[in-house]
Amino acid sequence: MAWVRDFPGTEQKLPAPSPAAVEVFPLPPAARRVNGWNAILEQPPVITMGLIAACAAMLAVTSAQGGLEDPSVLCAHGAKVAERIARGEGWRVVTANFLHGGLTHLLCNAIGLLVLGRMCENIFGRSAFLALVVATGISAQGLSTLLVPAVSVGISGPIFGILGALIAFHVRHRSEVPPMHRGTLLALVVWTGWSLASGFFDPEMDNWAHTGGLLGGLVLGGFIPAPQVSEGTPPCRRRVHVIMGFAATGVVVLSCTLQVMTSLRPRVMVAYLHLPGGFRIDHPDDWTVTRLLDQDSIEISDHVGGRVFVGRMDRWSDDLGENTQGAVRTLVEGLAQASLAGMPGFVSSRAASRSVDAAGRTWFRLQASATATRGQDIEQRIDATYAGGHVYFVIAVSPKGAWQRYRPAFDRILSSFELP
């Protein structure tokens, strides 16, 4: 009953409206569908915001360690490096999605993830959405690993996966989408086409990762149940979402754990003994010999930014006598000039020194840095010695600003140098 006051001092009771009276003019089914659709899309995107927060936290960690200038920092935290994935570090196809190369990179991806992720999360449900992000991240970095040898990071691959899943959903459930929202399909297709096309004109974009994520999203979006909007979804299919969510969480936790364990593991030096020149050198076990420059020299690299060239040159004989030291010094300066000259507009600073090792050999050292007008700035150190009619050299190169990070490995490699 309701109380109604007609005038001061008097009150009367009125009967409450009956349910039948309320339903005299019910909402049309189309209006109810629109209201229900809007209510679904307006739910808070908990997983989406969590993903953005995780990416922001990782950017803060890597930036504090110099990751904006030094690619090896990103590598140490799980960036996609094709060579290392091929050697067994498969978890990088997961961890690479949560790393970014800078604030602009993160902001662009965060905006796309917020707009598309909110829609996708509310349509498929939180558990299925998390599984979709992880799975399309794997497909994105997996295709990139096969076709792009360079280091790759960023959550743009899963964003394209979300695009693909939303496109597949709108095609598959077109009859269940309210007419006023059916234009979303065209907007998603245009967004996808424009993003892929722009990637072909930007050499810094990993368009193969975008393609891998998109293909993964199209496939998964074709069969993942969407109980939020699909009427009559069986309970067994709803339980699939819970299983997918637990599986995705487990994959992320396991990948991060393996990456942390790997980064904390001390680097073991291993011996390289089979050069035709007869000399040997040790290098960290996570570095590889990437190419044979000629029969008497090699390049050792961590595939991120650290490189060491080791070899010998047969240009002098034992009859040089007192001029040997001057000839080796000239060679060192020539090597430095040759390697730096490939950087247009370089300005180099150099410091030369000489030392004697435990075997009594004299080593000449030239430390040089170069600032290029374009391309990557580098720092390098060249050590060379003369023995048995040959000049042996060790050239260490790192990105500018990352020398201290690489120096322990460089020093260990040089100190392990043994002549035949």
Distance CA 22, CA 345 (A): 81
Query: Region 128-156: what's the mean pLDDT?
Result: 91
Query: Residue 291: beta bridge partners?
Result: 299
- At residue 223, the pLDDT reads 81
Place 246 in a pLDDT band, splitting at 50, 70 and 90: confident
- At residue 7, the pLDDT reads 47
Two structure tokens written together for 414: 């040089």
Q: Which of 215, 100, 217 is nearest to 154 (CA)?
A: 100
Residue type for 370, please? A
Neighbours of 260 (CB within 10 A): 13
Q: Between 96 and 273, whose confidence is greater?
A: 96
Distance CA 271, CA 420 (A): 14
- At residue 50, the pLDDT reads 94
Query: Region 105-121: what's the mean pLDDT?
Result: 92
Place 72 in a pLDDT band, splitting at 50, 70 and 90: confident
Tell me the average pLDDT of the chain.
76
- At residue 123, the pLDDT reads 84
Place 54 in a pLDDT band, splitting at 50, 70 and 90: very high
Instruction: Please indicate, yes or no, whether the overall pTM of this predicted structure exceeds 0.85.
Output: no
Q: Is 347 helix (H, G, I), strand (E, B) or coil?
A: strand
| Residues 30-53 pLDDT 10s | 555 555 556 666 788 899 999 999
Residues 335-360 as b or e (16 or more Cβ within 10 Å = b)? bbeebbeebeebebeeeeeeeeeeee
Q: Between 82 and 294, whose confidence is greater?
A: 82
Q: Which of 72, 70, 82, 78 is nearest to 99 (CA)?
A: 78
For 70, how many CA atoms within 13 A lie in the half-sphere containing its CB?
Answer: 22
Query: Region 159-181: what's the mean pLDDT?
Result: 83
Instruction: Write down all domains in the chain, each with its CATH number in brackets.
Output: 29-264 (1.20.1540.10), 269-415 (3.40.1000.10)
- At residue 373, the pLDDT reads 43
Distance CA 248, CA 265 (A): 26
| Residues 297-313 pLDDT 10s | 788 887 777 888 887 77
- At residue 216, the pLDDT reads 93
- At residue 328, the pLDDT reads 62
- At residue 1, the pLDDT reads 46
